[in-house]
């Protein structure tokens, strides 16, 4: 099968959607399918070789508390038409298919079967299309022959805006990569209890509340450390100044790390904390932590609660509540046996999201779409 995977987001910048597409490409290609990734990119994407087709220059656009790096050019049609005419894909799989301008232009020009995966929750992504004419959006939406949502919360959101028949196929986790066989980071193996935060340094990821919680934790358990992994320059500078101003010890800002290096940080952690304030449709960070047998303390928001159970793989706490966050972290820090118990349960949960299983569900869905009108011969 010849498959196009289309991302509206800058493929040179790490993010949940681009990581999802990269994994899909890897496993579909491994299964023998011919896959091309179509996306804007601010720099060369070498990992795919000729399997990557750059279209458009990405620009940072504020979107519901985050920054969406998308191409907003109105001149994409000739390039896209040439690509589609040359490649003659059997199926085009668009991620955030109603996000302008790349996905909407591909959808408008496509003459083949189109599948859309909706990742967004809490209106992020949809705020980009609000200025566009509703009639146009509905016209593009009708060109989707298959509709996927990565979680029940994501499905409920998109269904409010665009009612339809959706299938939930979740994000996956690479269990070969995120395995207990990876070595931890040596410099953090000094006996301190390590709390790990992984995510973009954006307000909605909730690091503000974790820093406040860490202040309380250090008073109770001085032999502890907070490790912050993730991209973001502007807020990182503010956070570092805040840490220095408050005299907060043992906070380490690592910055962005490679996909290959990331599992080592998880394996270094005693607890992984995901304190996002909302607008998360899923929780890939939670799954990655679980795959490595790490207990999780996370905000009790729909996207996170859809994949973990309070008291099983970890603890869920009210969002934006640094005291509750600190108390949950302390309760795990004080009980190694509880951490181990939750880690074992987490591994079992993560196994259900193995990318090998997820990609087979996606492939089965492609076949279903192709075997239904108007594509069934």
Half-sphere exposure of 319 (CA within 13 A, CB side): 18
Q: How many whole angstroms separate alpha carbon 221 and alpha carbon 334?
A: 9
Residue 347 φ/ψ, nearest 5 degrees: -60, -40
Q: What pLDDT, on a 0 to 100 scale, did the predictor assign at position 71?
A: 93
Beta-carbon contacts of 70 under 8 Å, excluding residues fewer than 6 positions away, are 8, 9, 10, 40, 58, 59, 61, 99, 100, 101, 102, 128
Q: How many whole angstroms separate alpha carbon 314 and alpha carbon 349?
A: 12
- Count of other CB atoms within 10 angstroms of residue 120: 27
Q: What fold characterizes domain 2-172+354-370?
A: Rossmann fold (3.40.50)
Question: What tens digit of pLDDT does each residue of 236-292 get?
Answer: 999 999 999 999 999 999 999 998 999 999 999 999 999 999 989 999 999 999 999
- pLDDT greater than 50 at residue 97: yes
Q: How many whole angstroms separate alpha carbon 207 and alpha carbon 218?
A: 16
Residue 368 gets the label, from left (phi > 0), alpha (psi -120 to 50) or beta, of: alpha
Residue 364: closest CA among 38, 91, 176, 158: 91
pLDDT band at 65 (very low <50, low <70, confident <90, very high): low
Residue 235 gets the label, from left (phi > 0), alpha (psi -120 to 50) or beta, of: alpha
- pLDDT greater than 80 at residue 123: no
Local structure of residue 133 (DSSP, 8 states): -
Specify the range with the lowest mean pLDDT, choosing from 15-24, 49-58, 116-125, 213-222: 116-125
- pLDDT greater than 50 at residue 130: yes
Local structure of residue 354 (DSSP, 8 states): B
Q: β-strand 113-118 against 146-149: which pairing, if any? A: parallel
Beta strand extents in the chain (DSSP E only): 2-6, 34-39, 52-54, 59-63, 66-70, 91-95, 113-118, 146-149, 167-168, 193-198, 224-229, 251-255, 271-274, 296-299, 314-317
The answer to whether 2-172+354-370 and 186-351 have equal CATH topology is yes
Look at domain 186-351 and name its CATH class. alpha beta
Q: What residues pair up with 95 in beta bridges, in sequence order?
A: 117
Beta-carbon contacts of 252 under 8 Å, excluding residues fewer than 6 positions away, are 188, 225, 226, 227, 228
Q: What residues pair up with 357 in beta bridges, in sequence order?
A: none
Across 41-55, 147-161, 303-317, the highest mean pLDDT is recorded for 303-317
Q: Structural domain boundaries of the chain?
A: 2-172+354-370, 186-351
Question: What tens digit of pLDDT does each residue of 19-64 get?
Answer: 999 999 999 999 999 999 999 999 988 788 899 999 999 998 877 6
Mean pLDDT of 322-346: 98
């Amino acid at each position: 099968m010849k498959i196009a995977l289309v991302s509206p987001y800058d493929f040179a910048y790490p993010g949940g959607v681009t990581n999802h597409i990269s994994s899909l490409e890897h496993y579909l290609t491994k299964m023998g399918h011919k896959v091309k990734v179509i996306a804007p990119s601010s720099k060369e994407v070498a990992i795919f070789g000729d399997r990557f087709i750059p279209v458009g220059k990405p620009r940072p656009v504020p979107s519901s508390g985050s920054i969406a790096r998308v191409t907003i050019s109105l001149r994409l049609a000739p390039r896209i038409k040439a690509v589609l005419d040359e490649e003659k894909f059997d199926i085009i799989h668009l991620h955030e298919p109603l996000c302008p301008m790349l996905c909407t232009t591909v959808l408008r020009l496509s003459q083949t079967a189109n599948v859309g995966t909706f990742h967004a929750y809490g209106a992020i992504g949809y705020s980009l299309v609000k200025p566009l004419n509703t009639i146009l959006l509905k016209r593009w939406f009708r060109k989707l022959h298959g509709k996927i949502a990565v979680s029940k919360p994501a499905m409920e959101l998109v269904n409010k805006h665009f009612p339809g028949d959706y299938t939930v196929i979740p994000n996956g986790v690479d269990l070969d990569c995120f395995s207990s066989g990876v070595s931890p980071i040596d410099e953090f193996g000094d006996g301190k209890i390590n709390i790990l935060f992984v995510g973009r340094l954006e307000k909605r990821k909730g690091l503000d509340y974790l820093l406040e919680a860490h202040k309380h934790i250090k008073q109770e358990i001085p032999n502890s450390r907070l490790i912050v992994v993730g991209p973001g320059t502007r807020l990182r500078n503010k956070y570092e100044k805040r840490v220095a101003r408050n005299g907060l010890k043992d906070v380490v800002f690592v910055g962005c790390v490679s996909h290959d290096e990331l599992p080592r940080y998880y394996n270094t952690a005693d607890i992984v904390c995901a304190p996002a304030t909302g607008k998360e449709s899923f929780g890939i960070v939670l799954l990655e932590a679980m795959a490595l047998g790490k207990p999780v303390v996370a905000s009790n928001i729909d996207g996170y609660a859809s994949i973990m159970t309070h008291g099983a793989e970890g603890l869920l706490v009210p969002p934006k509540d640094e005291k509750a966050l600190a108390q949950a972290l302390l309760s795990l820090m004080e009980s190694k046996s509880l951490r181990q118990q939750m880690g074992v349960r987490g591994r079992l949960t993560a196994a259900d999201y193995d990318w090998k299983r997820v990609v087979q569900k996606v492939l089965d869905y492609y076949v279903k779409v192709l075997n239904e009108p108007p594509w069934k011969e």
